């Protein structure tokens, strides 16, 4: 077995795994504080791929400006989804299931709105870096992939610092442990939740644009955004390190399955891994044993 | 009496009802959301199609086969995910993955003819046949709901911990409800295959699963007649309006959010439409007291 192919597969897996991680982090962040599956997140990621595409083609922005535009736009969209679809439920203390169904409705709404207005075409991004690759121990790494990996790591590091070291971050963590007690201690829950959605939206902005560059922008990207949810479950729902590792593991496993076993059944293997991990560790790899709040 | 077009719409209403009734037992009575029910429908449709076309067996054998394979698949999915009493989100996301995986499998298998699908199926889904199956399914469902299994499901939905304290095996109850709903979905799929007479994997995508769940939610969780009526409404409105398909789905999404925000118990909530209820309603309207039908309004 050639070592270079092994290494190449690992790098390909890391490149896509990094994007999965970003998506899973945004999704898991919302989960950790509101305790529900934000299925509208896939739709926001899809919108991000279009935001990035239009920023680059219509406005002629370069990749950094486009990333910032996409992040800002998705932060607004994400906050809007919270205010429209979840805020009224939160005020009524509705069970998580209602949040989830509301999110589902929102996801259908966003996806089909794009279908109906922009259409079901594939939109390819303009070329950002020339098609050159960097050689690392005989394995080729595309410049765009390298950029995506580095940018993902920086984004996650900043988020990590923010969550763990700042006062607002502590408020977010406190609210995710127990929102009632956090409120009693003077945390403005509405602001904290809004902020979490803004951060999640920014992450959707980054990951959506990278996905668009890699796979083009089109309305039914759902099959790939679903991977974010699967990665989060593999890592353990509600755990941020879990989401990061879950994404990387899923990306690497998929790359190895496509190269060494079969590329047509790749998605079946991701699903099989999900089932196997749930059989061995029902709470996911890093999951807290979270029972449903009654 | 009716034109064949009207009969067609009625048939669609009926098989959608069969699928949705099963899902109503699962989602409405155990409180878990499935986003992969189209996969169970697909398994049923393909099993029945292969049995009747490739093996030339009679339709009713195909329907039974469809029910069995869908049921078996539900146990394979349900056991690992329902086993630990984790948050229901683990289950929902697994069903989402299951739906995608099923589509990929169907697109690549030899026996399902890949993405091209299977055509030229026999026209067995006569409205009367479907009606008989629907009546049987409804009758079994009613008995299931009012049996101890149904009551156990309700108690698990309301409070899993309290239910467990009362000696109910939560996993078994949920798994049984899932099995029931998968069997219904399989039967519905078998009818669907022989009504459309052509099936391909792209008919069973996750949007379809979401739509089934949306119908149950819109009809009211914890009701059987509600989702049936919602199934008919959701089937007939696009037929009447004949608007572009995408805008219909946009409206579905918006309606779903609106229902959750404004009236989370669905159109009918926990109420059922019965002959006695109708009679009471008429009597009350005669007395000119315009109060709502009996039953406690449960908001959350």
Query: A113-147 pLDDT, tens per residue?
Result: 988 888 888 888 887 776 677 777 767 778 888 88
A226 with B300: Cβ contact below 8 A: no
Closest by alpha carbon to A139, among A2, A27, A270? A2
| CA A51 – CA B132 distance, rounded (Å) | 52
How many A-B residue pairs are in contact by the CB < 8 A criterion? 168
| CA B119 – CA B122 distance, rounded (Å) | 9
- The answer to whether B6 touches B126, Cβ cutoff 8 Å, is no
- The answer to whether B230 touches B273, Cβ cutoff 8 Å, is no
SS3 B46: helix
Nearest chain B Cα to A31, which residue?
Answer: B89
pLDDT score recorded for residue B85: 64
- The answer to whether B96 touches B206, Cβ cutoff 8 Å, is yes
**H/E run at residue A140:** strand A139-142
Pick left, alpha or beta for residue A16 (phi over 0 → left; psi -120 to 50 → alpha; otherwise beta): alpha
| Gap from A264 CA to chain B (nearest CA, Å) | 7
| Gap from B211 CA to chain A (nearest CA, Å) | 9
pLDDT score recorded for residue B21: 93
Instruction: List Cβ neighbours of B289 (8 Å cut-off, separation of 6 or more).
Output: none
Instruction: List Cβ neighbours of A131 (8 Å cut-off, separation of 6 or more).
Output: A142
B157 interaction partners in chain A (CB closer than 8 Å): none
Closest by alpha carbon to A247, among A176, A156, A166? A156
| CA A239 – CA A286 distance, rounded (Å) | 7
Cross-strand bridge partners of residue A285:
none
Instruction: List Cβ neighbours of A213 (8 Å cut-off, separation of 6 or more).
Output: A52, A125, A128, A144, A148
Closest by alpha carbon to A292, among B156, B115, B1, B66? B156
Instruction: List Cβ neighbours of A167 (8 Å cut-off, separation of 6 or more).
Output: none
Identify which of A95, A109, A229 has the shortest CB distance to residue B96: A229
Residue B39: C-alpha distances to residues A97, B18, B103, B210 (Å): 21, 15, 7, 11
- φ and ψ of A29, to 5 deg: -60, -45
Question: Which of B115, B257, B265, B269 is best to mutate for the A interface (most A CBs within 10 A)?
Answer: B257
B104 with A267: Cβ contact below 8 A: yes
pLDDT score recorded for residue A180: 84
pLDDT score recorded for residue B273: 65
Question: % helix / strand / coil in chain A, to the nearest 5?
Answer: 75, 5, 20
**H/E run at residue B201:** none
| CA B241 – CA B235 distance, rounded (Å) | 11
For residue A125, what is the DSSP state?
Answer: P
B89 with A36: Cβ contact below 8 A: yes
| Gap from A231 CA to chain B (nearest CA, Å) | 10
Closest by alpha carbon to B38, among B219, B255, B227, B188? B188
A282 with B101: Cβ contact below 8 A: no
Closest by alpha carbon to A239, among B118, B90, B164? B90
pLDDT score recorded for residue B265: 65
B265 interaction partners in chain A (CB closer than 8 Å): none
What are the extents of the domains in chain A?
Answer: 7-221
A233 with B261: Cβ contact below 8 A: no
Identify which of A92, A222, A275 has the shortest CB distance to residue B80: A275
pLDDT score recorded for residue A248: 92
Identify which of A89, A102, A237 has the shortest CB distance to residue B89: A237
A94 interaction partners in chain B (CB closer than 8 Å): 260, 264, 300
- φ and ψ of A121, to 5 deg: -80, 165
Question: Which of A30, A32, A108 is best to mutate for the B interface (most B CBs within 10 A)?
Answer: A108
SS3 A135: strand
A97 interaction partners in chain B (CB closer than 8 Å): 31, 33, 88
Question: Which of A23, A43, A104, A286 is best to mutate for the B interface (most B CBs within 10 A)?
Answer: A104
A35 interaction partners in chain B (CB closer than 8 Å): 87
| CA B216 – CA B158 distance, rounded (Å) | 18
B261 with A89: Cβ contact below 8 A: yes
B160 with A110: Cβ contact below 8 A: no
Question: Which of A31, A47, A101, A102 is best to mutate for the B interface (most B CBs within 10 A)?
Answer: A101
DSSP B137-168: HHHHHHHHHHSHHHHHHHHHHH-HHHHHHTT-
B214 interaction partners in chain A (CB closer than 8 Å): 101, 104-105, 108
| CA B255 – CA B249 distance, rounded (Å) | 10
B201 interaction partners in chain A (CB closer than 8 Å): none
Per-10-residue mean pLDDT of chain A, 294 residues long, equals 79 88 90 85 92 88 88 94 88 80 87 86 80 72 83 90 90 85 87 92 92 85 82 86 90 89 83 83 72 43
| CA A264 – CA B225 distance, rounded (Å) | 42
R_g over Cα of chain B = 19
Identify which of B31, B159, B250 has the shortest CB distance to residue A116: B250
Closest by alpha carbon to A81, among A114, A59, A103? A103
Cross-strand bridge partners of residue A142:
A133
pLDDT string in tens for chain B (300-residue length): 568 888 888 898 999 999 999 999 998 888 888 888 999 999 999 999 999 988 888 888 999 999 999 999 999 888 888 876 667 778 888 888 888 888 888 888 888 888 888 888 878 888 888 999 999 999 999 999 999 998 999 898 888 888 889 999 988 999 999 999 999 999 999 999 999 888 888 888 888 888 888 888 888 878 888 889 888 888 887 777 666 667 777 887 888 888 888 876 666 665 666 667 777 777 777 765 444 444 444 443
pLDDT score recorded for residue B296: 44
| CA A251 – CA A16 distance, rounded (Å) | 5
Nearest chain A Cα to B108, which residue?
Answer: A264
Q: C-alpha dihedral over B141, B191, B233, B5, to 10 degrees?
A: -140
């Amino acid at each position: 077995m050639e070592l270079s192919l092994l290494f190449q597969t690992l790098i390909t897996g890391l490149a896509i795994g990094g994007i999965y991680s970003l998506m899973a982090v945004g999704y898991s962040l919302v989960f950790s504080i509101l305790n529900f599956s934000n299925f509208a997140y896939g739709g926001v990621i899809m919108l991000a791929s279009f935001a990035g595409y239009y920023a680059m083609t219509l406005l002629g922005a370069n990749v950094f400006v486009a990333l910032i535009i996409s992040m800002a736009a998705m932060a607004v969209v994400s906050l809007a989804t919270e205010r429209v679809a979840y805020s009224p439920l939160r005020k009524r203390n509705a069970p998580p299931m209602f949040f989830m169904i509301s999110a589902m409705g929102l996801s259908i709404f966003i996806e089909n709105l794009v279908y109906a207005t922009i259409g079901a075409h594939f939109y390819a991004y303009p070329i950002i870096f020339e098609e050159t690759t960097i050689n690392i121990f005989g394995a080729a790494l595309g410049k765009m992939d390298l950029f995506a990996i580095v940018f993902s790591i920086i984004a996650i590091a900043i988020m990590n610092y923010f969550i763990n070291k700042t006062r607002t971050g502590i408020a977010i963590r406190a609210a995710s442990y127990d929102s009632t007690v956090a409120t009693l201690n003077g945390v403005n829950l509405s602001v904290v939740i809004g902020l979490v959605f803004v951060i999640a939206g920014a992450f959707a902005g980054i990951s959506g644009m990278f996905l668009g560059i890699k796979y083009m922008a089109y309305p039914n990207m759902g099959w790939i955004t679903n991977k974010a949810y699967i990665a989060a479950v593999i890592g353990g729902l509600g755990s941020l390190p879990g989401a990061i590792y879950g994404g990387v593991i899923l990306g690497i496993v998929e790359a190895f399955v496509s190269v060494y076993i079969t590329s047509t059944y790749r998605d079946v293997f991701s699903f099989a891994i999900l089932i196997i991990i749930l059989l061995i560790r029902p709470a996911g790899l890093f999951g807290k044993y979270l029972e449903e709040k009654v | 009496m009716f034109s064949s077009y009207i009969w067609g719409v009625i048939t669609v209403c009926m098989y959608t009802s069969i699928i949705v009734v099963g899902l109503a037992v699962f989602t409405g009575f155990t409180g878990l959301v499935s986003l992969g029910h189209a996969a169970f429908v697909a398994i049923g449709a393909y099993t029945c199609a292969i049995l009747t076309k490739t093996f030339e067996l009679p339709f009713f054998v195909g329907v039974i086969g469809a029910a069995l394979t869908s049921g078996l698949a539900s146990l394979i999915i349900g056991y690992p995910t329902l086993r630990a009493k984790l948050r229901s989100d683990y289950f929902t996301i697994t069903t989402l993955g299951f739906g995608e995986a099923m589509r990929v499998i169907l697109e690549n298998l030899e026996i399902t003819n890949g993405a091209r699908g299977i055509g030229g199926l026999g026209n067995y889904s006569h409205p009367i046949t479907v009606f008989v199956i629907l009546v049987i399914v409804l009758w079994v469902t009613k008995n299931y709901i009012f049996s101890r299994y149904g009551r156990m499901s309700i108690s698990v939905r309301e409070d899993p911990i309290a239910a467990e304290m009362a000696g109910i095996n939560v996993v078994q109850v949920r798994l049984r409800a899932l099995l029931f709903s998968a069997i219904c979905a399989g039967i519905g799929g078998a009818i669907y295959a022989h009504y459309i007479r052509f099936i391909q994997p792209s008919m069973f995508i996750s949007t379809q699963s979401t739509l089934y769940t949306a119908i149950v939610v819109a009809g009211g969780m914890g009701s059987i007649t509600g989702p049936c009526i919602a199934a008919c409404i959701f089937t007939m409105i696009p037929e009447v309006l004949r608007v572009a398909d995408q805008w219909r789905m946009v409206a579905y999404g918006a309606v779903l959010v609106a229902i959750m925000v404004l009236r989370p118990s669905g159109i009918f909530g926990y109420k059922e439409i019965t002959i006695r209820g109708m009679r009471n309603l008429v009597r009350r309207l005669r007395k000119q007291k315009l109060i709502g039908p009996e039953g406690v309004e449960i908001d959350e």
